Structure 1
Amino acid sequence: MNKINNLKKLQDSHSYRKIAIAACFGTFLEWYDFLTFATLAVVFAPLFFPSSDPSAGLLASLATFGVGMIVRPIGAAIFGSMGDRIGRKPVFMITIALMGFATVCVGLLPTYAQVGIWAPILLVALRLLQGLSAGGEIGGSAVYLTEHAGNEHRGFKTSFLQLMGPLGILFSTLQIALLRSYLSPEEFQEWGWRVPFWISILLLLIACKARMALEETPVFLELSKCNQKTENPLLSNFRDPETRKRMFLLFFCISAGGAVLFFCVQVYTAIFLKTSAKLPAVLVDQLSIYATLALFPLTLFAGWLSDKVGRKPVVIGGLLLGAIFIRPAFQVLQSLSEEYLMAPDVNGSVILIGLLLICLSLALALVVGPQTALLAELFPAKTRNSAATLPHNLAAGWIGGLLPLIVTWLNQIWGGDLAGLWYPTIFLTGAAIVALLYLPETNKVNLNL
């Protein structure tokens, strides 16, 4: 009997690894496609938004990145409801194809110098498609993976999905760093920036093949078997007071808090170091790679820790650490950058900058490590996909995605490179307080209910 049980556990473990790899690779591609734009925001500014004022061009480029984030909730509403009605797997195939098409087209776009105003118009249109796709994928993939993970060690087993965003940035940043090292600045500006988008063609083919082999989740199959599916899941969510409350908690505390930290740590730091701190782009890309590598074990540790002590204390710890640490960290980053520019042959400043980026990554890891499991655990099975994806993408799109734009705009309004950082500081403080008072512990929740 023990041998049979051990064999079954081995088969279940192998099956889950196969499902997790396929799901995670598709999500990696979504993040890679979506965030390559953010990594190249500084490059896009003169190519698609030429202006006599470099700050205005950068602001326009960041605003275009933000447009893709704004429409994410629309994609979440559409694809999230579809996931509750027709199944998690079919939605995965639609979103990955849409994202891949839009990203490849970005790599083929003519610039402003070639077609004038049509260049930024087409770029914005493709960002809209990317945003719709990301809205259906990011959040829905968390539900899919968590429902396959079972009731044991969900925090750790699902935390791997949270590595896909940093891995997407890492792969994108590494490519760009290599391209910059092999190409002259003129060559990179002329055609080198297109290469990461062209590579999406190969990644898309691999992701589609992997996803075709995916199985529907056992939770959804059980709902179909018992005829418990809801025709209007999104409407049902808003009618139920407890679901509404949990959607708000997911939006404000978990998803928005994680998004603010993600875009501060993984996106805005690079923009800040390149523009405000004036560090060389190649050096910033290298530092970003090291900080992202450090984020991987920290995220898995946070997922594991949430299985031991609960999701709630781990998430609150990350929110508080971010609220306390973000603004002082950027102030020190600015000072260290000035020291480096005065004496670039001295490496001490660069090492300290790298350590600061790793410390920021710890705050992010504590929030996003348990996040995948929390997205599914907060809601009942029959409306879980729509209930989780809408607030998650609303937070990621409207709070996190607009953060680089808002912080840059506030810096310009208030006349300082650090003034805008009061926005994420205040937001994270509020999220931590609300989570402390109202967020339920979901560690041992049965996902079939």
Structure 2
Amino acid sequence: HRPPSSGLALMRHHPKEVGVVVGLTAGGTLAFYAYSTYMQKFLVNSAGFGRETATGIMAAALFVFMLLQPVAGWLSDRVGRKPLLIGFGVAGMFCTVPIFTALESVTTSFQAFLLVLGALVIVTGYTAINAVVKAELFPANIRALGVALPYAIANAVFGGTAEYVALSFKKFGFESGFYWYISGMIALSLIVYLSMSETRVGTKRGLHTGAVPLP
């Protein structure tokens, strides 16, 4: 007999998996919002570009980013989900501060495009596969709720507040604090990536025998 799909059943039977979803989402969703949604405002307010130029830079970078998603998904089907998540975690942790710092003094729109694209390439290791990773953590009877509830919480807390936090740091004259905040959150998610099991195992040909155990 399978337990009903409810928040109570989710927390009772899959607390570790819920924690994993929150942990792996926190750094990824913050990085995505910072590198995409907030980045256009950053290019105007901090890098000194006009609104139209900033829009053009972001449109070009996001177009390439879109094309990278199926490539990263294909790669994860061959090497596993975990290596891509770890790659994002390591690169995001070490490159976020240098990328944002360089953007503050960039002199051409092409240089800005390359830096923004570099950040988006890094977060592709998360965006392209995070949904399937979360789905592979739960059995079918509670999968939708297991993915949606903890993801929504982490997305609201970390991704939804990204712009507010960034502008708060800027308001208090410590804009680089936001860069370090992103790096720190990615580092915390990296710990989750390193400790979790490879979710691709046991899901070949679309099969799932249950929640993937954590070490």
2:135 to 376, 394, 405: 376
Alignment-mate amino acid for residue 125 of structure 2: L
CA distance in 1, matches of 2:92, 2:103: 15
Find the counterpart in structure 2 of residue 351 from structure 1.
Answer: 110
User: Per the alignment, in what secondary structure is the counterpart of residue 378 of structure 1?
Assistant: coil
Find the counterpart in structure 1 of residue 19 from structure 2.
Answer: 248
Find the counterpart in structure 2 of residue 292 from structure 1.
Answer: 62
Alignment-mate amino acid for residue 328 of structure 1: P
Find the counterpart in structure 2 of residue 441 from structure 1.
Answer: 198
In our comparison, the structure showing a higher alpha carbon Rg is 1
* Cα deviation 1:165-195 (Å, max 9, x = unaligned): xxxxxxxxxxxxxxxxxxxxxxxxxxxxxxx
| Higher share of residues assigned helix | 1
2:146 to 375, 387, 412: 387
Alignment-mate amino acid for residue 8 of structure 2: L
CA distance in 2, matches of 1:230, 1:320: 38
- TM-score, normalization: structure 2? 0.90
* Cα deviation 1:270-291 (Å, max 9, x = unaligned): 1111122231000000000001
Find the counterpart in structure 1 of residue 180 from structure 2.
Answer: 422
CA distance in 2, matches of 1:406, 1:423: 9
Find the counterpart in structure 2 of residue 410 from structure 1.
Answer: 169
* Cα deviation 1:192-214 (Å, max 9, x = unaligned): xxxxxxxxxxxxxxxxxxxxxxx
CA distance in 1, matches of 2:16, 2:171: 36
State whether residues 28 and 189 of structure 2, in contact with CA within 8 Å, keep that contact through their aligned partners in structure 1. no
Find the counterpart in structure 1 of residue 39 from structure 2.
Answer: 269
Q: How does 1:181-196 map to 2 (within 5 A)?
A: none
CA distance in 1, matches of 2:209, 2:125: 26
- TM-score, normalization: structure 1? 0.44
Gaps of 5+ in 2: 211-215
1:238 to 2:8 alignment: no
Alignment-mate amino acid for residue 441 of structure 1: E
**Residue 416 of structure 1: how far off its partner (Å):** 3.1
**Residue 266 of structure 1: how far off its partner (Å):** 0.7
Identical aligned pairs, as a percentage?
26
* Count of residue pairs brought into register by the alignment: 206
CA distance in 2, matches of 1:319, 1:408: 24
State whether residues 407 and 423 of structure 1, in contact with CA within 8 Å, keep that contact through their aligned partners in structure 2. no
Alignment-mate amino acid for residue 447 of structure 1: H
1:396 to 2:169 alignment: no
CA distance in 1, matches of 2:192, 2:209: 28
Find the counterpart in structure 2 of residue 324 from structure 1.
Answer: 94
**Residue 389 of structure 1: how far off its partner (Å):** 0.5
* Cα deviation 1:59-85 (Å, max 9, x = unaligned): xxxxxxxxxxxxxxxxxxxxxxxxxxx
Find the counterpart in structure 2 of residue 184 from structure 1.
Answer: none
CA distance in 2, matches of 1:448, 1:297: 32
State whether residues 5 and 141 of structure 2, in contact with CA within 8 Å, keep that contact through their aligned partners in structure 1. no
Alignment-mate amino acid for residue 33 of structure 2: F
State whether residues 29 and 155 of structure 2, in contact with CA within 8 Å, keep that contact through their aligned partners in structure 1. yes
CA RMSD of aligned residues (A): 1.6
**Residue 232 of structure 1: how far off its partner (Å):** 5.0
User: Per the alignment, in what secondary structure is the counterpart of residue 277 of structure 1?
Assistant: coil
Alignment-mate amino acid for residue 248 of structure 1: G
Q: Which runs of 4+ in 1 moved over 4 A?
A: none
